[in-house]
Amino acid sequence: MRYLVLVNPAAGRGRAPARAARLGAALEALGERVLTYTSRRPGDAGAHAARQAAGATDRLVVVGGDGTLREVIEALGGRAPWPIGLLPQGTANVVGRELGMHGVAPEEAARRLVAARERPVDLLRVDRAGAPPSFALANVGAGLDGAVVHRIARLRAGGAGGYARWIGPIWTTLRREPPARLLVTVDERVTWLAAGVVVQNARNYGGLFALAADAALDSGALDVMLVRGRTVRDRFRLLARMGLGGLARDRAARFVKARRVRLTARAPVPVQADGDPAGTTDLEVELLPRALTLLHAG
């Protein structure tokens, strides 16, 4: 079988190219054919994938984090002619955890990829007026969630990474970010006022928490968390309950199922998609059932 391996050289604190080389060698030792491409700049991995003909390979493997995977999916227009595998090299690795690949050595990853089953999964399509659609796989968030990601992105730009370096920006955002006023419309039927929202397609959130216990990449529904608490005390209580698994019982949070969610606000509210900044409101998130095929090691 032929594998095209796309590498983000900045991922894994610069260790991704060496780990990709070990992955390629292990795949070849198992009798597979491997071509490796290392991106030269942001967006280059996705552009390279988009240039490939459908018959150019049998499987695509991304060596990077959730953001690199999203970049590739975006460049392919939300559709891929090949199953996509992942050797996670980010911090949160939300999708990698869902696929049973988080924390796996390249040699073991090669064995898992060869034996992996093809898993059709849902995709999130994000639409804004006057702009082409974009896509996400794990989640889209607005309000406090988006503000945290935007602040962390500025830290990453300085070369920092890892959970330990994120504590300060997260703490600052929780204490100082003014509460947003979002109108959240679900399936064109019900509208709520919320201080924040997370539209989940994956069970894991941030690599540390599970917001909705029954969320899954192939559930056929979006799990929407509405943050209704507006005080700093509410924020820190919600954070504590995320860690303790009691979030669904908190009065400052509400969970609903949806296929389409519209987020609007009078003033622009920061938005994140799969852990990367994704502009500001207004926008609409739509579920695309079984739009993509991933390689699942579980």
Q: Is the pLDDT of residue 288 over 60?
A: yes
pLDDT tens digits along 204-232 = 887 777 788 889 999 999 999 999 888 88
Region 119-144 average pLDDT: 96
Q: Is the pLDDT of residue 173 over 80?
A: yes
238 compared with 119, residue with greater pLDDT: 119
Region 184-211 average pLDDT: 89
Cα(241)–Cα(229) distance, integer angstroms: 13
Region 54-79 average pLDDT: 96
* Dihedral sign of CA atoms 75, 78, 81, 83 in order: positive
298 compared with 177, residue with greater pLDDT: 177
- Residue 224: predicted pLDDT: 95
- Residue 165: predicted pLDDT: 67
- Residue 251: predicted pLDDT: 81
pLDDT tens digits along 16-38 = 999 999 999 999 999 999 999 99
pLDDT category at 41 given cuts 50, 70, 90 is very high
Q: Is the pLDDT of residue 158 over 70?
A: no
Closest by CA position to 147, among listed 100, 195, 80, 101: 195
Q: Count Cα neighbours of 11 within 13 Å in the Cβ-side half-sphere.
A: 30
Looking at the chain, the whole-number percentage of residues with pLDDT higher than 90 is: 71
pLDDT tens digits along 229-275 = 888 888 888 878 877 666 777 788 899 999 999 999 999 999 999 98
- Residue 163: predicted pLDDT: 65
Region 84-104 average pLDDT: 92
Q: Is the pLDDT of residue 66 over 70?
A: yes
247 compared with 129, residue with greater pLDDT: 129
pLDDT category at 77 given cuts 50, 70, 90 is very high
Helices 44-51 and 66-75: angle between axes, nearest 10 degrees: 40
* Dihedral sign of CA atoms 286, 288, 292, 298 in order: positive
pLDDT averaged over every residue in the chain: 91
pTM across the whole model:
0.91
CATH numbers and ranges of domains, the chain:
2-115 (3.40.50.10330), 125-290 (2.60.200.40)
